[in-house]
Structure 1
């Protein structure tokens, strides 16, 4: 027997015996290999069986169990002759089909051309040209505020009434140089009094009703005059439609105060601004409003003539309303950049613009 045949039988038998409980190890396996290499058990399977029985079996029970396992291992390792490979026959090439003659093309029918009918020319109807009807120019609506907060701050800078009544703590450079040039030597600098803006502004603002859309503007007008300008004194009073006997200290019209008490703080240098639509927002012309406004203007003019009226509605909307008549009693300007600038010129004593 060849070693190639003995080795698979020996290794498989050894593993099967160990799985069955035989006390075998590496020493027993090497002893079997040495015996086979020495010529014992290499001639036939019967001789190999006897040699392995002597080496690996230590009792009769193991010998009988060895005999059963040996037969199963020999049956599993029996060699099977390989079958010869099948010969695959190549398919014979099929004969190429012969070219068939193409059928003759069928003659196509010739389309008959029919003459198109001639169109008769006819005169078209004449349409008169479109002539638009002349309409009056309508004022353009403004989608944003008519005047910005920045423009208000800039305009308030021109409302000034400077006086020199503060302590003399400002260096007068020009006077100092003139004194040194006149005396020929320098002794002490020349100081002048600090300049202060003593302008007094009274704002009478129409609140609620038709003036509700302009609350943002009136609030900016008040805030810029009080906190972002150099005006010395700013007083604000609110009214609804007409500044009658009583006005209000707050924009919610909850703190009434007599108009006489408000006007008592004014003098001939006080600038008065009235902010109201004067009925132009709703297109009203009411004699009661005109009479009441005339009386209030008369009371104000007893204290000061520096009065101007700001109307949030454009000037085109003043016609046929109370604002048209009130504009003849007091200088009235629209609520925009130019209007605020002209109104400030009026309340600071400048002549009316041409």
Structure 2
């Protein structure tokens, strides 16, 4: 007789109002003889994220005049015939600013390890200013400082504070559940239209594969003026180039 196949009991947690169907979770460990070690793997590692943020640069000169300006020094020498002191200029620095808005709704649970990588990598990116805030399903009146949606902040006040920066949005946009919600799509497009008036560049990263967007809210949002890219290392590199204004 054939050996019985391993079985596992599946339980569903309680659904919160407006959060959609809960994700299934194992109620008990399946009776499998072999031992497995399951380690969450984010789509992009911490080191790769830090390197990518350093690629996002807008170099400007600011601060004390501590760097020799050779061309200006030579012009001054030729004009006066004598040089009292060299001409100096401020050093170049990265003035790029970045705001990341990440979707912390239940459908994004499989990508929670990425949130920790984003928070840890931004201080390593040598950006002039970087912020990470969270929302549920779509950015509305309040944004949050943690993935558990704690410590809320007014959306308009936060957007005004980061005006002129690059905006990166991380969300499945309804494609993880295969849902089509036209009202959510219209509200999201309205938010993106307002964001494009305040931010230099806006890019959307979707962790679901591109072929899963068809027939979902993500497809409607992707058809708008803001580029939507899959979330992996090559496409994240492409997103950084778009934030820099490189097409």
Q: TM-score, normalised by structure 2?
A: 0.75
Task: Point out the structure with the larger strand share.
Answer: 2
1:80 match = none
Written as runs of structure 1 = structure 2, the 5 A alignment for 1:41-56 is none
Please, which of 192, 201, 204 is the counterpart of residue 297 of structure 1?
192
More helix by share: 1
Q: Is the 8 A contact 2:65 2:88 kept in 1?
A: yes
Instruction: Specify which of 218, 228, 231 is matched with residue 332 of structure 1.
Output: 228
Secondary structure in 2 matching 1:285: coil
Q: CA deviation at 1:192?
A: 1.4
Please report how far the alpha carbon of residue 161 of structure 1 lies from its aligned counterpart in structure 2 after TM superposition: 1.8
For CA contacts below 8 A with separation 6 or more, give which structure has more relative contact order: 2
Structure 2: unaligned runs, 5 residues or longer: 1-39
Separation in structure 1 between the aligned mates of residue 165 and residue 148 of structure 2, nearest angstrom: 25
Question: Secondary structure of the equivalent of 2:238?
Answer: helix
> Does structure 1 residue 280 correspond to structure 2 residue 158?
no
The number of residues matched between the two structures is 207
Secondary structure at 1:300 match in 2: helix
Question: Which secondary structure does the structure 2 equivalent of 1:210 belong to?
Answer: helix
Q: 1:212 aligns with which of 90, 105, 109?
A: 109
SS in 1 for 2:85: coil
CA distance in 1, matches of 2:126, 2:79: 37
Unaligned runs of 5+ in 1: 1-142
Counterpart CA distance in 2 for 1:328 and 1:154 is 30
**Among 91, 102, 116, the residue aligned to 1:194:** 91
Structure-1 residue corresponding to 2:155: 259
Give 1:284 deviation, angstroms: 1.1
For 1:206 and 1:184, locate their aligned partners in 2 and report how far apart those are by CA, in whole Å. Answer: 64
- The match for 2:25 is none
The CA distance in 2 between the partners of 1:181 and 1:336, in whole Å, is 55
CA shift, 1:307, in A, is 0.3
Distance 1:273 1:234 in 2: 11
Matched, 1:238 2:134: yes
CA contact (8 A) 1:166 1:196 kept: no
SS of residue in 1 equivalent to 2:55: coil
Superposed CA RMSD in Å reads: 2.3
Task: Answer yes or no: is 1:160 the counterpart of 2:54.
Answer: no
The 2-side partners of 1:249 and 1:144 are apart by: 23
TM-superposition CA deviations, 1:255-291 (whole Å, max 9, x none)? 1222111111233x31001000111112111112212
Q: How much has 1:230 moved relative to structure 2? A: 1.4
- Mapped to 1, the partners of 2:71 and 2:121 lie a distance apart of 35
Q: State the TM-score, normalizing by the size of structure 1.
A: 0.54
